Amino acid sequence: MKKLSFMLLVLLFVFIMPENGHAASGNNKIFLDGKELTAGQSVPVENVNGTIMVPLRMIVENLGYKVEWNQSAKTVTIKQEGKVIKLSVGQKTASVDGNTVILTEAPVLKTDTSLVPIRFISEQFGLLVEWDNKEKTVTITSPAASSDSGSSTGSNSSGEGTSTVTSPPDSADNLTMVNGVSFSGNQLIIAMDGSSEPKISVLNNPDRIVVDIPNATFSDAFGSGQSLDPNLQGKLDATEYPDVKEIRYSLFSSNPYTVRFVIQLNYSKDFGYSTSVDSTSKLAIVDLNAIGGLAAAGSTGTTNDTTVPPGSNGKKLIVLDAGHGAKDSGAIGVTGKYEKNFNLAVVLKAQALLKKEANIDVVLTRSDDTFLELKDRVAIANNLNADLFVSVHANSSSTSVASGTETYFKRDESKAFAKVMHKYLVQATGLSDRGVQYGNFHVIRETKMPAVLLEVGYLSNKKDEALLFTNDLQDRVAASIVSGIKEYLGIS
């Protein structure tokens, strides 16, 4: 019992300590263009789930913006030169000139000051914001200061609505937003909104491919899907790919704004590059498989494959997910066949068919026998803002008589998609129709677009298993996936 009470004491201590840590956070310093805003003041700066939160009013007023605080509604309104930004304490969405923006963390109230994510400040006001975790110092650089004469920015903190201070760059309105990135199947795929054309360079010593996206920054959606440190840098995991040593990304420059991705290779390598163009969004794909079909533009990759004429409805992005993989075999058939291999075969066939569709882009969560966590499959689809998600599986039951085809959905918005997909799938298998069903599966629950999980047949049933591992059946199922997707999207 003595030991137990000691443990309780330790636990208590652990829980109380963070509060003390916060209370002692008064020695944080905030610099704007070299001038300390925090001189002689105690300022809260907090780390909330890895997001550095800084006091909004102090920074924004020093930039010459007007800040209004509504005590009862707990809302902050920032105004300058027609631009209006509204934030609410505890809410992850903000409004910028009527458009909704997602914050990585909701604003919090601390010592009568609202704290907001450091990146919100940098993105909305066109600033370079850096956080030195060791010194507990926030350094803010306005674009004017970083370009030349760094002296004339910043008003006195008492200045009320002074208009001579720095305002965000005009170009902030039409910055391209980089929404997500993934590396799967030996392809780097970058999702973005905006008109910027990526520039690709190939460099040696070490061998690397550099993708620069001019006039671009990371959107909040990017930060919610991938790790992005306060310096706006991060890395992708590509440890399973022998060609690749490391993939990193950063806001390479804030003047002019440039987002950079670097694929550091283990040896020099040919690759293909393409950009799919859409009226509002696009994918840039650097394909280290250097295969055809992607309309690879050669190793210099300076031209783009524009298969959809601008002004058309644009391409839809489909993420196909072959269930399981590698050490996770999924169900095992009565004769010992693995579900993971069936799933992959169908997905590869469906991918080949979808690649022929002019209005569809397709991305696979896995294109070979590799293992992915469920959350990684979801992240690929969410990071890329995919339009549809289809996960392919085969079922198993303790009773060998169980047989037939099922289609699962989890969220209401997926139900109509599930019905269409099931109609074609049942036709394709010819097995008994076990219906469209509600199922609480991770990949169709956590994805943010209409998502279905197909259980094509039962590997525990001898007849189903034999059928599922025929080329004909796999071709038909792949074709049915394409038919369902096209009907749901209204593509003829």
Kindly tell me which of 175 and 346 has the beta carbon lying closer to Zn ion: 346
Angle formed by the axes of helices 339-354 and 471-489, nearest 10°: 50
CB of 444 to Zn ion, least distance (A): 12
Residue 390 Cβ vs Zn ion, minimum distance, rounded to whole Å: 13
Which residues have C-beta within 8 Å of that of residue 302, sequence separation ≥ 6?
A: 199, 200
Mark the segment that binds Zn ion (CB under 5 A) among 153-161, 229-237, 315-323, 369-377. Answer: 315-323
Q: Is 340 in the site for Zn ion (CB under 5 A)?
A: no
In the complex with Zn ion, which residue's Cβ is closer, 323 or 484? 323
**Ranges within 404-433 binding Zn ion (CB under 5 A):** none
Contact 25, 17 (CB under 8 A): no
For residues 460 and 400, the answer to whether their CB atoms sit within 8 Å is yes
Which class for 439: exposed (0-12), middle (13-18), buried (19 or more C-beta within 10 A)?
middle
The residue among 301 and 323 lying less far from Zn ion, judged by its C-beta, is 323
Select from 134-142, 162-170, 266-274, 320-328 the region that touches Zn ion (CB under 5 A). 320-328
Q: Is 154 in the site for Zn ion (CB under 5 A)?
A: no
Q: Supply 61's token pair.
A: 């007023």
CB of 331 to Zn ion, least distance (A): 6
| List 55, 126, 314, 330, residue binding Zn ion (CB under 5 A) | 330
Q: How far is the CB of 431 from Zn ion (least distance, A)?
A: 16
In the complex, least distance from residue 303 CB atom to Zn ion, rounded to whole angstroms: 41
Q: Least distance in Å: CB of 337 to Zn ion?
A: 13
Integer CA distances (angstroms), 437 to 245, 280, 414, 417, 441, in order: 43, 34, 11, 12, 11
Per-residue three-class SS string for 171-202: HHHHCEEEEEEEEECCEEEEEEECCCCCEEEE
Residue nearest to Zn ion (CB): 393
Q: Which is nearer to Zn ion, 323 or 325 (CB)?
A: 323
Q: 166 or 365, CB closer to Zn ion? A: 365
Minimum Å gap between C-beta 435 and Zn ion is 18
Tokens representing 141? Answer: 């650089």
Q: Which of residues 225 and 323 has its CB atom nearest to Zn ion in the complex?
A: 323
Q: Smallest Cα–Cα separation from 454: which of 386, 389, 376, 374?
A: 389
Contact region with Zn ion (CB under 5 A), list: 167-175, 246-254, 393-401, 434-442: 393-401
User: H-type helices in 273-414, by residue range?
Assistant: 339-354, 374-383
Residue 167 CB contacts under 8 Å (≥ 6 apart), including other chains: 63, 64, 80, 81
Report how far Cα 71 is from the mean position of its chain's Cα atoms.
34
Nearer to Zn ion, 374 or 491 (CB): 374
Stretch that binds Zn ion, among 46-54, 193-201, 222-230, 330-338 (CB under 5 A): 330-338
Least Å distance, CB 110 to Zn ion, is 46
Q: Give the 3-state secondary structure of residue 464.
A: helix
> Closest Cα to residue 226, out of 334, 110, 427, 383?
383
Does the protein bind Zn ion through residue 457 (CB under 5 A)? no
The footprint of Zn ion on this chain (CB under 5 A) covers a number of residues equal to 3
Q: Give the residue with the Cβ less far from Zn ion, 257 or 469.
A: 469
Report the residue number, 180 or 330, with the smaller CB distance to Zn ion: 330
Phi (first) and psi of residue 468, to 5 degrees: -65, -25
Closer by beta carbon to Zn ion, 320 or else 489: 320
Distance CA 453, CA 252 (A): 39
Which of 323, 333, 404, 457 touches Zn ion by CB under 5 A? 323
Binding of Zn ion at residue 393 (CB under 5 A)? yes
Chain centroid to Cα 418, Å, comes to: 24
In the bound complex, what is the minimum distance in angstroms from residue 457's beta carbon to Zn ion? Answer: 12
> Three-class SS of residue 454?
strand
- Smallest distance from Zn ion to CB 443, Å: 10
Contact residues toward Zn ion (CB under 5 A) are 323, 330, 393
